[in-house]
Amino acid sequence: MAATLILEPADRCCWDEPVRIAVRGLAPEQRVTLRTSLHDEKGALFRAHARYRADARGELDLERVPSLGGSFAGLEPMGLLWALKPEKALVRLVKRDVRTPFAVELEVLDGHDPEPGRLLCRAQNKRDFLQPGVRREPVRAGRVRAALFLPPGKGPFPGVIDLFGSGGGLCEYRASLLAGHGFAVLALAYFRFEDLPEDLNDVRLEYFEEAADFMLQHPEVKGPSIGLLGFSKGGDLCLSMASFLKGITATVLINACVANTVTPLHYKDMIIPKLVDDLGKVKITKSGFLTFMDTWSNPLEERNHQSLIPLEKAQGPFLFIVGMDDQNWKSEFYAQIASERLQAHGKERPQIICYPETGHCIDPPYFPPSRASVHAVLGEAIFYGGEPKAHSKAQVDAWQQIQTFFRKHLNGKKCVKHSKI
């Protein structure tokens, strides 16, 4: 009987959905190598491989059989996806056009390294970023430049604004995936996109207020409030939004600072200065990558008093997601500052989830962890930290935690199971 590669779901699924990989029709205890590959939208090639041994019936199920080595080892049913590595160093896998899928090629070859033998079977898994029925609407409302993602079915839906960091542009993949779980999500650009400022040097909270008002007034968004999801620089912007703007009752921060960073923030007649930094303290790793953790001064120092964001003014709870090996800044320390400040003002303690051996860029599930990549604005290779296996597990759990938090505080429902990490 010829070997057959079986995927469940077959052929196509959403990117954040696990796929069961199995092989049938092998010889009893046959040694095989499984390989995956995909090309991103710029043509960059990503690859992973793992060595396995079939059981006595000639079957192989990655949910039951551990990898004997390769790109990863041990029982890792989705390892062939999260372990994908770029053929060219420092290329990070991101999705730019969420309207098209990533096509993952899977191959089964006879034997093990150093050179596996003949090709036994192959299959393709198309991984979508828009679940069936999810609607994408470009937003050009006043000054706001964004993309709105609406779930299938009849609304209104709990609303979330999604902000990325200092790389700029419009990043849609997290928003598009989250919309598949029942949220109306606005992926919001704030520089380096269309007619927005090219540089991050004149940031005004009124722009983000306009975006919040757009969501609060949208007929498909369930009021009377919305949530915020922010990563890195986008995280401290979300903190400022939650602290100064109305109608925000749930805020999730992924490796964010409790002070305003990078550039001063203007709002009406107020200016929040940036956290004092010293680029002379940039460190270079043995591999030649830059780390910025030591460039940031302590937000609790007197000179940074005006830079601290008054998060005790916020109307709703916070969830801090922390990578404990974040090499960009001291995310765990910042989350602790937030907790102590909120409690000192008699406010609810924030939920803080710390993930060991996890770096700065915590993406949705199954994105290969990016330990280092070239920064879109700086043009330099930045070291972000994290160990791939632990980081990948953190991404799965954090994704579920985000949904649970928003369902609880925006919808009053809990319907996402916690994964075991």
Residues annotated as part of the active site: 232, 326, 360
Q: Tokens in use for 192? A: 């380096």
Rounded to whole angstroms, the Cα distance separating 266 from 204 reads 5
Per-residue pLDDT, 278? 95
- Pairing verdict, β 270-272 and 265-267: antiparallel
Q: If you write DSSP's letter for every residue of 81-97 in order, what string do you get?
A: HHT-EESSTT-----S-
* Residue ending a domain, choose from 111, 128, 145: 128
CATH of the domain at 52: 2.60.40.2240
Percent of the chain with pLDDT over 70: 97
How sure is the predictor about 374, in pLDDT bands with cuts at 50, 70 and 90? confident
14 and 65 both lie in a single domain? yes
**Integer Cα distance of 44 and 81 in angstroms:** 15
Assess whether 245 and 343 both reside in one domain: yes
Do residues 219 and 333 share a domain? yes
Length of the chain: 421
Averaged pLDDT, 141-157: 96
Residue 75's φ and ψ, nearest 5 degrees, are -80, 100
157 and 235 in a common domain: yes
Task: State pLDDT tens for residues 380-413.
Answer: 899 999 999 999 999 999 999 999 999 999 974 4
Question: Which of the two residues, 89 and 310, has the higher pLDDT score?
Answer: 310
Q: Could you tell me the pLDDT band of residue 418, with boundaries at 50, 70 and 90?
A: very low
| Domain count across the chain | 2
**Of 418, 379, 413, 376, whose CA–CA distance to 397 is shortest?**
418
Do both 57 and 185 map to the same domain? Answer: no
253 in the same domain as 199: yes
User: Is residue 253 pLDDT above 90, yes or no?
Assistant: yes
Q: Are 36 and 7 contacting, i.e. CB atoms less than 8 angstroms apart?
A: no
Q: Identify the DSSP state of 411.
A: I
Q: What is the pLDDT of residue 367?
A: 96
Q: Is residue 220 part of a domain?
A: yes
CATH code assigned at 300: 3.40.50.1820
Residue-wise pLDDT for 83-124, tens only, equals 999 999 899 999 999 999 999 999 999 999 788 789 999 999
Does the residue 420 lie in any domain?
A: no
Structure tokens at 166: 């200092």
What distance in Å separates the CA atoms of residue 233 and residue 332, rounded to the nearest whole number? 15
What one-letter code names the amino acid at 91? V
Question: Can you give the pLDDT at residue 375?
Answer: 86
pLDDT at 419: 35
Alpha carbon 180 to chain centroid, angstroms: 15
Tell me: do 302 and 245 sit in the same domain.
yes
**34-54 mean pLDDT:** 97
Residue 417 belongs to a domain: no
Distance of CA 103 to the CA centre of its chain: 20
Tell me which of 62, 94, 128 is where a domain ends.
Answer: 128
Look up the domain containing 45 and give its range.
Answer: 4-128
pLDDT above 90 (res 332)? yes
Whether residue 141 is found in the same domain as residue 238? yes
Domain boundary among 128, 144, 169: 128
Q: Would residue 418 count as lying in a domain?
A: no
**Domain presence at residue 204:** yes
